[in-house]
Structure 1
Amino acid sequence: MLRHGLITAAFCCFIASALAISGNGSWESQMVYSLSIGMICWLFIDLGRLLLSGHKEVLWPHGFWGYGLIALGVIVGFLGGNAIGDAWVGAPPLEFRNLAARKMTSTIVITLVATIGMSFFFFSLGKSKHMQRQIELAQRNATEARLKLLETQLEPHMLFNTLANLRVLITVDPPRAVAMLDRLNSYLRMTLSGSRALAHPLSAEFDRLGDYLELMSVRMGERLRYTLDLPDDLRETPVPPLLLQPLVENSIRHGLEPKVEGGEITVRARRDAQGQLVIEVSDTGVGPDAAEQQQQQPSEGGGFGLEQVRERLATVYGEQGRLNLSAAPTGGTCVTLNLPLPA
């Protein structure tokens, strides 16, 4: 309302200046008349639209009520503004009735055109902002739906593999099957809690990753070793759920499993010199070149993780989220995520 009032006042000053320059009276009297008529019209219409529209998203009454409000605002503003102007210049009340027909007509036309024009301008401005909010809301909803879709695409892939391994272990090694089932239960519990939000603390992501790696350890035994390193000051940093598991799954599938002796996976989070969150997922597997050849071979889920993580980073963080794949200094592959830290 304040913005509307300031715009209306500026427009009234312009009209008063134009009338004074054209010889229709002194600048002072024209300013009083113009501001009085304009501000009364603005207050009446702006307050009226809020009262009539209630708590609707578009704060403007529809149909007859909107047109009636403008018409009534013109009448009230014209009469009230002229009464204030007449009192200012010392003329009798409603002196405008004694004006010549031509001058009376021009005064009414100016009031009508100015009020209708300003009302249409404010209505269009409000409608444009409402549409912009609707577009932003739709974009946020689309982003949320896209993230949830990506997450559901990743979940069944891991779950089916685990259930297949459980089926084998139940017959050949029941104690390991029970341990694997316990880990799966813990993992699914955390997954369900994370699926209700678009972000959760980095500590929850690491806990979830620990359960996943324990599931893989039951299957791979001593061929899989891992280290999770999360500083205390980064534990509450919000990140999208299921962000790191695809990278670790990729390291196991294409880095460690092709090696007879297996290897080690290290997941480490840190804050860099630019104040960004850096998460490194490194392994001592066959290296990026051999892993790329593995991913190009027809296999279930090959190359799925990296592409999905890149897409999630682009959806959530835009250009601020980056994924880099390189050879680890000690052999194997290193995937580095750069994410903005919340202010």
Structure 2
Amino acid sequence: MNIDWTSKLRHLLQVTAFALVIAALQYAFMPERPWGPPLVYSLLIAGITWAGIDIGRHLFPSSAETGWPSGWAGLVLVIASIVLGYLLGTTIADWLCDYYGWYTPGAGHNNSSQLRNSILITALAGIAGSFYFYSISKSAYLIRKMDEARQHASEARLKLLETQLEPHMLFNTLANLRALIATDPPRAQVMLDHMIDYLRATLGASLSATHTLQAEFDRLRDYLELMLIRMGPRLSYTLELPAELAQHPVPTLLLQPLVENSIKHGLEPKVEGGHITVRARREGAALVLEVLDTGVGLSGADKDHAGFGMAQVRERLSSTYGADTAIELVAASAGGTRASVRFPFKP
């Protein structure tokens, strides 16, 4: 039986405050009687009734998820706890009031009018308190289910985006491999070996929606090595990942679409090719990832709609980090293009 005792303590304090209000109302309607006895009765009856309901409900297997027994079990628990709270609470309170002499002459605890009032107050207060705690448990259960549904929906959406990205890269690579087989079989063999290594790492990482920046950069290195075989000296690259950021989690395949864009829109249209730099850095509470190339610049690509890859990166960032993200594509100061991704840093 797993019980959150911090939550139980909070509930007990709420019940105590409720009992103090009931005792104060009783005294307000009967100011000629001392305030001590109603206070003792209210605290004992309320406390025992609460313990029976709020702790006893965890004895039922059906309450493990919803926090409340289902069917008749919940109703029987409430009635039994109210009866137990009244009988045991009044017994202890009677003894305390007799022992300390809190009763005034003629105000005995066996008075029939007082007995009826006590039973009525106990029943009404017990029902009201039970409904309150039932509502709290039900609300917490529904909120938890909504959060789980949102999480599952977000994970499903990320998986869908990833399944769209993988074929996109795979088709491009296979097309390049097909062309290379006809012109340079030895290089095609080397490219195929690199492709097998890349796919093995990719399939292993696809079991999770996120992985570390180190894993992301390792996969980029595999991909760029594939592109090196195809483009030869027209392509060079640099990967800059500070050691303190290597274990930071990021969505899988986050940067690869940006690198693909740099090659397709920046370096391939340029006769002499160029250089790609991928780097990560921290700026305050944000993590910034950049892909820079020395290609033809924004004149060779659509700044607002830089293809399939940019759209998928935006979608994945939005699904994972919500509104706390930014992605931009601008002209680099030394020529070419700079794609920048910014999202919250999570130590």
Say yes or no: TM over 0.5.
Answer: yes
Q: How does 1:1-343 map to 2 (within 5 A)?
A: 1-23=8-30, 25-53=33-61, 56-90=64-98, 98-100=110-112, 102-272=113-283, 274-292=284-302, 303-343=307-347
Kept in 2: contact 1:231–1:269 (CA 8 A): yes
Shift of 1:54: 6.3
Shift of 1:196: 1.2
Kept in 1: contact 2:62–2:70 (CA 8 A): no
SS of equivalent to 1:330:
coil
Kept in 1: contact 2:67–2:141 (CA 8 A): no
Number of aligned residues: 332
Shift of 1:277: 2.1
SS of equivalent to 2:64:
coil
Q: Partner amino acid for 2:204?
A: S
Kept in 2: contact 1:279–1:336 (CA 8 A): yes
Deviation per residue, 1:18-52 (Å, 9 max, x gap) = 10111173111110011111111111122221112
State TM-score, norm by structure 2: 0.90
Deviation per residue, 1:106-138 (Å, 9 max, x gap) = 221211110011111001101101111111111
Q: Partner amino acid for 1:217?
A: L
SS of equivalent to 1:342:
coil
- CA RMSD in angstroms, aligned pairs only: 2.0
Q: Which moved more, 1:214-223 or 1:50-59?
A: 50-59
Aligned counterparts of 1:275 and 1:68: Cα–Cα separation in 2 = 53
Kept in 1: contact 2:58–2:64 (CA 8 A): no
State TM-score, norm by structure 1: 0.91
Q: Percent identity?
A: 52
Aligned counterparts of 2:290 and 2:60: Cα–Cα separation in 1 = 57
Shift of 1:275: 4.6
Q: Which moved more, 1:56-65 or 1:121-130?
A: 56-65
Q: Partner amino acid for 2:335?
A: G
Deviation per residue, 1:228-251 (Å, 9 max, x gap) = 122222222211110110000011
Cα distance change of structure 1 residues 163 and 149 upon mapping to structure 2, 3 Å threshold: same
Q: Flag structure 1 segments of 5+ consecutive residues without an equivalent.
A: 297-301
Kept in 1: contact 2:274–2:295 (CA 8 A): yes
Aligned counterparts of 1:79 and 1:253: Cα–Cα separation in 2 = 82
Q: Which moved more, 1:222-231 or 1:134-143?
A: 222-231
Q: Partner amino acid for 1:6?
A: L
Deviation per residue, 1:65-111 (Å, 9 max, x gap) = 1111111111111111111221122189xx75x423x4433221211
Q: Which moved more, 1:2-11 or 1:228-237?
A: 228-237
Aligned counterparts of 2:323 and 2:66: Cα–Cα separation in 1 = 34
SS of equivalent to 2:275:
strand
Q: Flag structure 2 segments of 5+ consecutive residues without an equivalent.
A: 1-7, 102-107
Kept in 2: contact 1:229–1:268 (CA 8 A): yes
Kept in 2: contact 1:53–1:59 (CA 8 A): no
